[in-house]
Chain A
């Protein structure tokens, strides 16, 4: 199965809601841009029925260049984590059930 992409989402908006192709494409871009913008402003995003995008601040920790073995610190950073909602988790688990 191929992955769902922005083009697929736009196609869906075109087919299902009758947005024209340009509107559909812009809508998909705006959707992800608003989420990125919120996360870059350090504000988590909660999408009911799907999941939450949270932010975690990681402090600096020792790391290693896997090729040379040289020790280099991994700098402090902020990362995005995704916590799937209960509904999505249950739906995905159900897929595992049908596959067995």
Chain B
């Protein structure tokens, strides 16, 4: 199970009344496109409370064709990297801690509702 772009658009649309679902869809697509463009141009993204995206360099190396075993020279390249921000780290981890606490304190038999 995962949240997809179209579900994300639906959720945002449901949370506000001023913009049409079509506008929300365009807005989400524009934001994602803008973020991808920034990285494709070699830039960084810094979203407070969420995290930052940057490029990490992968040095050139000699790889191997797994089928033939022949060695292949692979050139150096950049790969996108994400570092979660403090709020995201804390909220994700807090949810885990709360789940663990609930599991340990809750009796195995549930009552009511």
Contact = CB atoms under 8 A, between A and B. Distances in A.
Do A and B associate with each other? yes
20 contacts: A1-B44, A4-B38, A12-B30, A16-B30, A27-B12, A30-B16, A31-B12, A36-B88, A39-B88, A39-B92, A47-B5, A50-B32, A51-B80, A51-B82, A76-B100, A79-B89, A84-B80, A88-B80, A89-B80, A93-B79
Interface in A7-59: 8-9, 12-13, 16-17, 19, 23, 26-28, 30-32, 34-36, 38-53, 55, 57
Contact of B76 (A38, A43, A48, A96): A96
Given A27-B24, A32-B47, A42-B95, A96 B3 contact: no
Interface residues of B, number: 61
Interface in B1-29: 1-5, 8, 11-12, 15-16, 18-19, 23-24, 26-28
B8 A45 contact: yes
Nearest to B43: A1
Interface residues of A, number: 59
A12 B11 CA distance: 21
